[in-house]
Amino acid sequence: MSGLYIVGTPIGNLGDITYRALETFRAADIIAAEDTRHTLQLLTHFGIKKPLVSCRAQNEKEAAERIVKLLAEGKNVAFASDAGTPGISDPGAVLADTVRNAGYAVIPIPGVSALTALTSVAGEGGKTLIFEGFLPQKPGKRKSRVKELLETGYAFVLYESPFRIVKLLTDIADIEYERRVVVGRELTKLHEEIIGGTAAQVRDEFGLRSKIQGEFAVFVAGVKKAQFCKGDFDSRREADEDDH
């Protein structure tokens, strides 16, 4: 029976692709992609040629229905978002739900996620972790949601753009300046940077920079580990030359 394979792909370093992901792409009859141009580059890098169909946030419902028809024809379809694991602040949830409700198998092919990558090095041992992803862009709504998340007392992870990272850190520091945060910039990429400290300290670190680039993930510790210790880390590394 045909099925839909939800495939995790690298968030930067192409060396993070899994053997199973490559096997899945090679075996699929059709590959659905959030951005066909982006996925074509990934497939070309690994010497894979397959028909591509678009399935992005703006057309996900309609694309899902077309994919169900392909499955009905006996085709196996693999889906990849631009980077990371589909459905984690990326398209994929509507597609998976539609396909499953149509009676077809939806098979996960696990891969990289900025959420798990940052959490793995954050040093927070709590059992509860909230994944919020991107916050509202409007300042009032953003700060209100930050306050709600901080008040839960649980650790949480946010995604943010380089244009609003200082504003986000300022919002956190304005409410709880001593709450511990760990910021990951350009995770797994050439200029990966991981900086930890209190919200105020990390806000000041980025606030002094004349130019901020890259994609950000922000881990905010739960209240039990809110105090920043002197032993916290400031890690910058150059990745292997074969990152891309």
pLDDT attached to residue 83: 94
Least Cα distance to 156 among 87, 218, 232, 233 occurs for 218
End-to-end Cα, the chain, rounded Å? 36
- Judged on CB neighbours under 10 Å (0-12, 13-18, 19+), 162 is middle
Neighbouring-strand partners of residue 113: none
Q: Which mean pLDDT values do the consecutive 10-residue runs of the chain (244 residues) have?
A: 94 97 98 97 98 96 97 98 95 97 98 95 87 95 97 96 97 96 97 96 96 96 61 49 44
Q: Which amino acid is at 125?
A: G
Residue ranges with strand state E in the chain = 3-7, 30-33, 52-54, 77-80, 105-109, 129-134, 155-160, 180-185, 193-198, 216-220, 234-236
3-class SS at 33? strand
Rounded Cα gap, residues 111 and 166, in angstroms: 29
pLDDT on residue 232: 53
Contact 221, 197 (CB under 8 A): no
pLDDT of residue 15: 96
> How confident is the model at residue 126, as a pLDDT?
78
Match 């059992």 to its residue by tokens. Answer: 127
DSSP 202-243: HHHHHHT-S---S-EEEEE--GGG-SPPTT--EEE-PPPGGG
Pair of tokens at residue 231: 């032993």
Domains of the chain with CATH codes: 3-109 (3.40.1010.10), 114-243 (3.30.950.10)
Q: What is the pLDDT of residue 224?
A: 66
Q: What local confidence, expressed as pLDDT, does residue 180 receive?
A: 96
Q: What is the pLDDT of residue 244?
A: 43
pLDDT at 127: 87
